[in-house]
């Protein structure tokens, strides 16, 4: 069983749609849950992170973590063509000095 | 402020040859990580430096891979001899020590390695 499972898509939605991206994981010791966004030929860039369970909102983006179900989500409201990218979930045991464990990434296309 | 830079952006070599990848982290970042993405798979951790010391090299696939970070600044990752399965995108990331910054690891654009 992989440590982090993420549906690679691709996912195609019309502009303005609500997008839901999800990951499941197997290691209950993970404490930090991150979403990275990667544009073509670029490196991943941190979008937002959550510590332990709960929700976090940043503009049109909301991250949710349910540790009891080992399930994390990223919601994008009012999606824009500029949101078209690959979204990677990542997790770590501690803050700072620990390696990230990534999902495969979901390729999202927002069609104008 | 300059981000993480990697060189070269793309390298094509033959099986059995040697390739050296270079990463320049963000100035002042003591943590430096190497990751690799093989086609169709997830990004996977290779190793972690804190300054010039190897903190964790549990992800290094075998002894054909050698990473160095002399002086705690830039890092190199040498593959010798390269095999077909080494093809992929090699990412470098850096971050400050936890007491001085957040949890974000800043990634470079990656080096795309193709072994033929």
pLDDT per position as a tens digit, B33-67: 999 999 989 999 999 999 999 999 999 999 999 99
Residues near B84 by beta carbon (within 8 Å), at least 6 away in sequence: B15, B115, B116
d(CA B67, CA A10): 35
- Map B19-84 to HEC letters: EEEEEECCCCCCEEEEEEECCCCCEEEEEEEECCEEEECCCCCCCCEEEECHHHCCEEEEECCCCH
Confidence of residue B100 (pLDDT cuts 50, 70, 90): low
Which position has the higher pLDDT, B25 or A51?
Answer: B25
Contact B42 A103 (CB under 8 A): yes
Confidence at residue A110, expressed as pLDDT on a 0 to 100 scale: 98
Q: By mean pLDDT, which of A94-98, B14-18, B23-27 is the weakest?
A: A94-98
8 A C-beta contact, residue B91 and residue A43:
yes
The rounded Cα A86 to chain-centroid distance in angstroms is 9
Contact A45 B43 (CB under 8 A): no
Interface residue B83 vs chain A (CB under 8 A): no
d(CA A71, CA A63): 11
d(CA B94, CA B92): 7
What is the least distance, in Å, from the CA of A59 to any CA of chain B? Answer: 19
Residues of A in contact with B35 (CB under 8 A): 100, 102
Cα distances (angstroms) measured from residue A110 to each of A14, A37, A86, B66, B109: 6, 14, 11, 41, 23
Interface residue B7 vs chain A (CB under 8 A): no
- Phi, psi at residue B23, to the nearest 5°? -130, 130
Confidence at residue A51, expressed as pLDDT on a 0 to 100 scale: 87
Contact A43 B97 (CB under 8 A): no
- Optimal mutation site among B36, B42, B111, interface A, most CBs of chain A within 10 A: B42
- Number of separate helices (H) and strands (E) present in chain A: 0, 11
pLDDT per position as a tens digit, A54-78: 899 999 999 999 999 999 999 999 9
Confidence at residue B2, expressed as pLDDT on a 0 to 100 scale: 83
Confidence at residue A96, expressed as pLDDT on a 0 to 100 scale: 63
d(CA B106, CA B116): 30
8 A C-beta contact, residue B91 and residue B36:
yes
8 A C-beta contact, residue B48 and residue B55:
yes
- Optimal mutation site among A50, A96, A101, A102, interface B, most CBs of chain B within 10 A: A96
- Give the residue-averaged pLDDT of B82-96: 96
> Using alpha carbons only, what angle is made at residue A36 by residues A35 and A38, rounded to the nearest 5 degrees?
150
Smallest Cβ–Cβ distance between B103 and the set A6, A32, A103 belongs to A32
Q: How many CB atoms lie within 10 A of CB B52?
A: 14
């Amino acid at each position: 069983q992989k440590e982090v499972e993420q549906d690679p898509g691709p996912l195609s939605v019309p502009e303005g749609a609500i997008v839901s991206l999800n990951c499941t994981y197997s290691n209950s010791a993970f404490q930090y849950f991150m979403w990275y966004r990667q544009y073509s030929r670029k490196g991943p860039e941190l979008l937002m992170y959550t510590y332990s369970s709960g929700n976090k909102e940043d503009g049109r983006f909301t991250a949710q973590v349910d540790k009891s179900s080992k399930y994390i989500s990223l919601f994008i409201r009012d999606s824009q063509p500029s949101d078209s990218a690959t979204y990677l979930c990542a997790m770590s045991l501690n803050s700072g000095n620990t390696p990230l464990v990534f999902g495969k990434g979901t390729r999202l296309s927002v069609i104008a | 402020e300059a981000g993480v830079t990697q060189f070269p952006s793309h390298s094509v070599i033959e099986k059995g040859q040697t390739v050296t990848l270079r990463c320049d982290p963000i100035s002042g970042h003591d943590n430096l990580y190497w990751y690799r993405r093989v086609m169709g798979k997830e990004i996977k951790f290779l190793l972690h430096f804190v300054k010039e010391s190897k903190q964790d090299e549990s992800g290094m696939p075998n002894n054909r891979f050698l990473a160095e970070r002399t002086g705690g600044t830039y890092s190199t990752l040498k593959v010798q001899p390269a095999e077909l399965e080494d093809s992929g995108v090699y990412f470098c990331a850096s971050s400050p020590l936890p007491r001085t910054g957040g949890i974000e690891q800043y990634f470079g654009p990656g080096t795309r390695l193709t072994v033929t």
